Amino acid sequence: MSFFHLLLSLAISIALVSAFSPADHHLIDCGTTASTVLDHDHRPFTGDGSSTTLSSTKSLSLKNSNPDPNLSPIYHTARVFTKPSHYKFKIQEKGTHLVRIHFYKFDFMNIGTTCHDQFHVSANGYVLLHNYSVSKGNPRIKDFLITADEDELVIRFIPVDQTSFAFVNAIEVISAPKDLIDNFKYVSFDHNMRYAYESVYRVSVGGVKVTPFNDSLWRNWVPDDEFLKLGDGSVESYKKIHFDGRINYRVGGASREVGPDNMYNSARLIFGVNDSVPKVNMTWVFPVKKGFSYIVRLHFCDIASISIGLIYFNVYINGNLVYENLDLSTLTNYMLASPFYADFVVDSEKFSDVIRVDIGPSKSSMPHAVDGMLNGVEIWKMSNSMSSLDGEVCVGQLESKSQSGGQMSRLLSLTAAVCLLAIAFLVMRRKAVAKGLAGWSRVPVDVSEIDLKSSYPKSAGVSV
């Protein structure tokens, strides 16, 4: 490697470390003409009343007359649609975007009593929500990854029929950091197919809730307690740990956009307190909807060992050994408190309607050492062959169903035919996918900061 080459890779490495600044960054507060509304994290949202992004023949803007002061101001207003409507966002940089849609139902008094919210949401040809309605209570945030190949991203809201309406409180469209989803191309079943993803779980293990304020991608991470399965009641073997030191983000390792400090600095662990390695697993169970495939990302960061080279454990997903003898020290280039993540694909069709994660000691685990650890879990639902994340339905069906008239019928039957084909394909694909364990490992591409001669994978994955 020439000196110039080395400098160049260092420069690239430094660029990779710098703060995340997305090319596309649209924050829309729906149902207001205000030019700027600051949310609780001081992010400036623009009212949709004055913007050209909104296109609707029939919409109402509603304001909550008695807003909860603890709720972010973006939930104080809403836009209600009684006819199909859409928002069109200009895209500067084609590629994957984070699309976050906020719903909060306050008293929608002036819509009438016969109407209820029941609607579909689509974006650039993907069904995001089908037959959706929002229950009262806390705001609901729906989090998607959508690829925009054109220079616009169109989000449609479609009431299911004449008696229903659609609504939305706020929308975020943000360019996704490349390294967040780098791996997804390796974990796809079909490389010709482009998937949309919905984030269904984002969990900080052993920690407290992480709010958008403490996350560079403005995400929420919830504590793991409700997913943790307490087998024999030996809570002691699922010890929570919190770390006050600095998380060592490495070039070539997970970045802050992959996982924030506040997620990596807490974990649960299995610790051998006497002269034998405990014979236990830590187990988490996540309910999922059948008929979809999921990407499971497990986050690890050794914030508990007193020295490197002491931590080894096994990882199982739905009972399959997906990572044998995971050696966190080697994977993080012999650095403590340095993050590592691994991605796995789960075809839920083959299993029950849960995804189960077990962490347990391996053959190299040692007494008086950490014999299992987990810091975070993320689960993404992948769109099916009908490009839907919610039900076996095509975007074409949703958009034509809500319209009427003779001219539509030919188009309708054509759409139906295309959808039938897609359903047939879906069934065939499911059969094809019902195969055994197909492993792959990520090819290390990044040059390590410490040792330029050798590089380490920042992540690895396997199909389950």
Ligand X SMILES: *[C@@H]1O[C@H](CO)[C@@H](O)[C@H](O)[C@H]1NC(C)=O
Minimum distance between the CB of residue 274 and ligand X, rounded to whole angstroms?
A: 4
| Closest by CA position to 362, among listed 371, 353, 354 | 371
**Residues 305 and 314 sit within 8 Å (Cβ to Cβ):** no
Q: Does 39 bind ligand X (CB under 6 A)?
A: no
**CA 155 to CA 81: how far, in whole Å?**
13
Minimum distance between the CB of residue 324 and ligand X, rounded to whole angstroms?
A: 12
Strand pairing of 320-327 and 266-271? unpaired
**CA 335 to CA 353: how far, in whole Å?**
38
- Segment near ligand X (CB under 6 A), from 80-88, 108-116, 273-281, 424-432? 273-281
Q: Does 275 bind ligand X (CB under 6 A)?
A: yes
- Segment near ligand X (CB under 6 A), from 67-75, 208-216, 343-351, 428-436? 208-216
Two tokens, residue 89: 């966002």
Q: Does 213 bind ligand X (CB under 6 A)?
A: yes
Among 316, 341, 380, 456, binds ligand X (CB under 6 A): 316
Minimum distance between the CB of residue 401 and ligand X, rounded to whole angstroms?
A: 9
- 244, burial (CB in 10 Å: exposed 0-12, middle 13-18, buried 19+): exposed
Among 2, 114, 274, 407, binds ligand X (CB under 6 A): 274
Q: Does 440 bind ligand X (CB under 6 A)?
A: no
| Closest by CA position to 312, among listed 302, 326, 323 | 326
Q: Does 358 bind ligand X (CB under 6 A)?
A: yes
Taking CB under 6 A as the criterion, which residues in 98-127 touch ligand X?
Answer: none
Q: Does 300 bind ligand X (CB under 6 A)?
A: no
- 424, burial (CB in 10 Å: exposed 0-12, middle 13-18, buried 19+): exposed
Minimum distance between the CB of residue 361 and ligand X, rounded to whole angstroms?
A: 8
Q: Does 204 bind ligand X (CB under 6 A)?
A: no
Q: Of 57 and 274, which has the nearer Cβ to ligand X?
A: 274
Q: Does 232 bind ligand X (CB under 6 A)?
A: no
Cβ-proximal residues to 399 (8 Å cutoff; 6+ apart), any chain? 84, 122, 156, 158
Strand pairing of 370-374 and 77-81? unpaired
Task: Count other C-beta atoms under 10 Å from residue 409's C-beta.
Answer: 11
Minimum distance between the CB of residue 277 and ligand X, rounded to whole angstroms?
A: 9
Question: Phi, psi at residue 252, to the nearest 5°?
Answer: 90, -5
Minimum distance between the CB of residue 369 and ligand X, rounded to whole angstroms?
A: 14
Task: Count other C-beta atoms under 10 Å from residue 382's C-beta.
Answer: 22
Q: Does 286 bind ligand X (CB under 6 A)?
A: no
Q: Of 91 and 337, which has the nearer Cβ to ligand X?
A: 337
Q: Does 279 bind ligand X (CB under 6 A)?
A: yes
- Segment near ligand X (CB under 6 A), from 44-52, 184-192, 271-279, 368-376? 271-279
Q: Does 161 bind ligand X (CB under 6 A)?
A: no
**Residues 164 and 111 sit within 8 Å (Cβ to Cβ):** no
- The site for ligand X (CB under 6 A) is made up of 131, 211, 213-214, 262, 274-276, 279-281, 316, 319, 358, 360
